[in-house]
Amino acid sequence: MFRSSIFLTLLAGSLAAGLDITATTNLTELPVNSLFTKWRTTYHFTAPQGWLNDPCGAMYDPTRDVYHLMYQQWNPNDVQWGNISWGHAVSRDLVDWVDVGGWKGDAAAALVTGPEAYDSKGIFSGTGHAINLQGEVDGTLALLYTSVSALPTAWNIPYIPNTESQSFALSHDGGKTWGKHPGNPIIVDPPSGWNITGWRDPFYLPWPEMDKVLNKPEPHWYMVMGSGIRGVGPRIPFYSAPASNLTQWTFLGALWEPKDNETFGNVLETGSYGFNFEVSGFFSLKDEQGNDHFYATMGAEGGGVPGHGRWALWAEGEVSRCANGSAQFDPVAVGAADWGNAFLYAITSFDDTKKGRRVSWGWSQEDMNNYGVNAQGFQGAMGLPREVFVHKTYNVVADNQTATIPTNAKYSAPGPDGTYTVTSLGVKPLPDVVRRLRRRAEKKHEIEDKKYTCPEQLEGISSAHFELSATIRDAHVPVGFVVRASPGAEELTTITFDPARNLIAVDRSKSSLIQEFSNVTASGDYKPYTISTCEPDDNEVDTEVEDIQMNIFVDGSLVEVFVGGRFALTTRIYPVRDDALGVGIYVAEGAEAEVVDLKVWSGIGSVWPKRPVDTSNSTSTA
Ligand SMILES: *[C@@H]1O[C@H](CO)[C@@H](O)[C@H](O)[C@H]1NC(C)=O
Ligand SMILES: *[C@@H]1O[C@H](CO)[C@@H](O)[C@H](O)[C@H]1NC(C)=O
Ligand SMILES: *[C@@H]1O[C@H](CO)[C@@H](O)[C@H](O)[C@H]1NC(C)=O
Ligand SMILES: *[C@@H]1O[C@H](CO)[C@@H](O)[C@H](O)[C@H]1NC(C)=O
Ligand SMILES: *[C@@H]1O[C@H](CO)[C@@H](O)[C@H](O)[C@H]1NC(C)=O
Ligand SMILES: *[C@@H]1O[C@H](CO)[C@@H](O)[C@H](O)[C@H]1NC(C)=O
Ligand SMILES: *[C@@H]1O[C@H](CO)[C@@H](O)[C@H](O)[C@H]1NC(C)=O
Ligand SMILES: *[C@@H]1O[C@H](CO)[C@@H](O)[C@H](O)[C@H]1NC(C)=O
Ligand SMILES: *[C@@H]1O[C@H](CO)[C@@H](O)[C@H](O)[C@H]1NC(C)=O
């Protein structure tokens, strides 16, 4: 029990087990790579070493039955952003990954800068398909990326003309080698008249549903980018190309025209559009009834509120054809694709044609305030691959104000019984990936259903790399779980659902004894629905509030929380003590809640079978 256990007094300077660091060690003075394995993930996608940010070029190659994931903006020679190129790994199952070219040095680099000027300063983000430039599946892989010829670039500084253009790279050997398209760059100019804040990260796809909306007689491919007009608002420019020629793009228009720093609803429910969009996406998903729902996704810069510096957003919209043949997108619900203060950002997605689903990837940046990063020897990882889907809840009881205010869920018109169907963008870690990770855990712990009235440590669980799955019932006060807890509670992280505030929160105030690391609480909006359980001819009004179903993935410093199929939050924690491995239940003082179906899979091992544990640059160049 955390409350009643004897609290050990941690003397400043006392040693944590294993690595010789304490709360007061000056991490800046430690040798490069000396903390390489301390907080490193085992079962998430990472670069071998150095800096990593956006996921890029995710695709399934049906010719060779293999998945690809590239990672922008890889800088193998430094833990900081710079000399931005793409690294590359492949997988048969989206679980185990192999570096194409090997993990040593910069062998895993796939696309690098230059030698020509148009991409001499950076290979920025983009997407990929297993097609040739005539849109045919013939074993070719095609990456569309932003070629950068001038730096710096940022939404809040003047734009150097022609900084960004869009280019293709092609592979004819399954991604072992890549060649830049001789016609590069294929799109040179941003939309005319736009004084842009940025214009990058092309996301392209074939899209029969959009052909139908726009009355295209021939099949087309579509593309969006992230952009913005200075002093006006962020933008998602929309393009099309005939399927037979993917270098022939026509600008159609902006999807919609938000104003600078506009919000769709309450900023803490719907986020802020900010001043510039990056890493945008545009696609449709079918619901259970076979109806199409249209979604835009975007990373919004500049519209920060405390605890949310940038926003990884999704928007569902109604789509119609403009007179000039473009698509008009009118948002009907907007929410955070991940709530963790952009600790999952640059979220992109691809059509997993093998499994018939849309899979999203996002970049989990570090939250170390740049302290000790040279000792760590790398920065950044990807979150788990997630399925995004149309999430519908039926028979929801709500007042008509709740049902009509703009928020992160769309309420239907009320049905004959007065209840609503509520739709939002569902998100869950890929179920097959989760099953395989569970199978490779060292131990499975099943904890009996129980009412808890005070915090309690779970016996026999000790892990920095685990999944916890549980359902919380009848929570009237904050209830949840404690992870990475040291035996005397000197360090611990509390993950709760607070019914009074409709909030999922990860309290990091005690996550690390190291004061330099960020300790702000990461939180996001989560409202359980009240469901009518009456039969149609039943006169009694029976309702129940949804249980809180949580899946928590802890992997070294990386924490991902999924709730109810429609909420995700990613954050980072850096406990200094090597014995901060405990897992427990949290219940607020004087309260009780039932926790059912609680399972923990601990000791989840590496998903990089060909990498040693230490792939730091000192090892790889040795
Ligand atoms: C840690 O070490 C760095 C580099 O030597 C130094 O600049 C910094 O002031 C030190 N910090 C503290 C708190 O002593
Ligand atoms: C940039 O990175 C690539 C790939 O790792 C490398 O080949 C190249 O030498 C680097 N350039 C600079 C200027 O560091
Ligand atoms: C575009 O924005 C810049 C600021 O970056 C400003 O100096 C310039 O006047 C703007 N140009 C136009 C045509 O509005
Ligand atoms: C494809 O489009 C590009 C750009 O408009 C054009 O230069 C090229 O000739 C086209 N290719 C074919 C085969 O039509
Ligand atoms: C097409 O029309 C829409 C709606 O009026 C407009 O926003 C867009 O800029 C137009 N497209 C072009 C290429 O002018
Ligand atoms: C953007 O809007 C939010 C409220 O939604 C506000 O807190 C923030 O200060 C605004 N940012 C700027 C730069 O105006
Ligand atoms: C390894 O990375 C560190 C930064 O963490 C950098 O200072 C050093 O130069 C790199 N060494 C090599 C061989 O790339
Ligand atoms: C909202 O509900 C109230 C009573 O519950 C009703 O009087 C009112 O007409 C409703 N408003 C709308 C717009 O449906
Ligand atoms: C959180 O971090 C801030 C800034 O470093 C510090 O002032 C504060 O004391 C920390 N809070 C806790 C509970 O450690």
Each residue's pLDDT tens digit, 346-383: 999 999 999 999 999 999 999 999 999 999 999 999 99
Mean pLDDT of 327-333: 98
CATH number at residue 459: 2.60.120.560
Cis peptide before 185 (omega within 30 of 0): yes
pLDDT bin (cut points 50, 70, 90) of residue 18 is very low
pLDDT bin (cut points 50, 70, 90) of residue 3 is very low
Determine how many CB atoms are found less than 10 A away from the CB of residue 269.
Answer: 20
Does residue 122 form part of some domain? Answer: yes
Residues 71 and 173 grouped into a single domain:
yes
As a whole number, the mean pLDDT across the chain is 94
Q: Does position 162 have pLDDT exceeding 70, yes or no?
A: yes
Is-contact 203 282, C-beta < 8 A? yes
pLDDT bin (cut points 50, 70, 90) of residue 537 is low
- Residue whose CA is closest, atom 9 of ligand 9? 515
Last residue within a domain, chosen from 391, 415, 430: 391
Does residue 417 form part of some domain? Answer: no
Residues 337 and 206 grouped into a single domain:
yes
439 contacts: CB under 8 Å, gap ≥ 6: none
Is-contact 218 260, C-beta < 8 A? no
pLDDT of residue 538: 64
| Beta partners for residue 482, in sequence order | 494, 584
Determine how many CB atoms are found less than 10 A away from the CB of residue 520.
Answer: 14
Token pair for residue 434? Answer: 């989760």
Residues of the domain holding 592: 444-604
Instruction: Provide the pairing of β-strand 378-379 with 50-51.
Output: parallel
Residues 320 and 243 grouped into a single domain:
yes
pLDDT bin (cut points 50, 70, 90) of residue 289 is very high
Closest ligand to Cα 617 = 7
Residues 356 and 449 grouped into a single domain:
no
Residues 361 and 256 grouped into a single domain:
yes
Each residue's pLDDT tens digit, 544-553: 999 999 999 9
Tokens 């071998």 found at: 48
- Residue whose CA is closest, atom 13 of ligand 5? 252
Closest ligand to Cα 490 = 9
pLDDT of residue 443: 97
CA distance 53 to 74: 7
Does residue 49 line the site of ligand 2, with CB under 6 A? no
Q: Which amino acid is at 248?
A: Q
Determine how many CB atoms are found less than 10 A away from the CB of residue 266.
Answer: 13
State how many domains the chain has: 2
Mean pLDDT of 422-431: 98
Each residue's pLDDT tens digit, 27-44: 999 999 999 999 999 999
Half-sphere exposure of 484 (CA within 13 A, CB side): 31
pLDDT bin (cut points 50, 70, 90) of residue 10 is very low
Tokens 């719907």 found at: 270
CA distance 107 to 76: 9
Residues 370 and 451 grouped into a single domain:
no
Residues 382 and 485 grouped into a single domain:
no
Residues 351 and 455 grouped into a single domain:
no
pLDDT bin (cut points 50, 70, 90) of residue 77 is confident
pLDDT bin (cut points 50, 70, 90) of residue 534 is confident
CATH number at residue 380: 2.115.10.20
CA distance 469 to 435: 12
The percent of residues in the chain predicted with pLDDT above 90, rounded, is: 91
pLDDT of residue 606: 97
Does residue 521 line the site of ligand 9, with CB under 6 A? no
**Which segments of 459-600 does DSSP mark as H helices, in order?**
none
Q: List b or e across 421-454, with b for residues whose CB sees 16 or more CB atoms inside 10 angstroms.
A: bbbbbbbbbbeebbebbeebbeeebebeeeebeb
Does residue 431 form part of some domain? Answer: no
Residues 386 and 461 grouped into a single domain:
no
pLDDT of residue 620: 81
| Beta partners for residue 503, in sequence order | 498, 525
CA distance 181 to 286: 35
pLDDT bin (cut points 50, 70, 90) of residue 74 is confident
CA distance 601 to 613: 21
| 494, 519, 520, 521: residue to mutate for ligand 9 pocket, most atoms within 8 A of CB | 519
460 contacts: CB under 8 Å, gap ≥ 6: 445
Q: Does position 49 have pLDDT exceeding 80, yes or no?
A: yes
Tell which atom from ligand 3 comes closest to the C-alpha of 195.
1
